[in-house]
Amino acid sequence: MDPSALNSPELERFLSEEKERAMVNEMVAKLTSACWDKCITSAPGRKLSSSESSCLSNCAHRYMDMSLIIMKRFQSMN
């Protein structure tokens, strides 16, 4: 393997994109777990009730809003 390839811009871009993908996947997993635990209080049937669906939607929106606020706060600290 060519040692100069380890510092290539393409590799750095690839690693950055993979890191972002991993962060998004982690956020979705946390969001799913937190909102599911909060909104689905009984064994799910074939279809979500309207209150469960509404709760999941609201929870996901709040989670995403708070994540953006936290990211902006960290960015402003740098």
Res 3: pLDDT: 58
Q: How many CA atoms within 13 Å lie on the side-chain side of 44? A: 11
**Secondary structure element (H or E) that encloses residue 12, with its range:** helix 9-39
For residue 16, pLDDT over 80 is answered with yes
| pLDDT single digits (tens) 30-77 | 999 999 999 998 888 899 999 999 999 999 999 989 988 988 888 888
d(CA 51, CA 9): 49
Residue span of the structural domain in which 55 resides: 3-40+48-76
Domain count, the chain: 1
CATH number reported for the structural domain that contains residue 27 in this entry: 1.10.287.810
d(CA 9, CA 6): 9
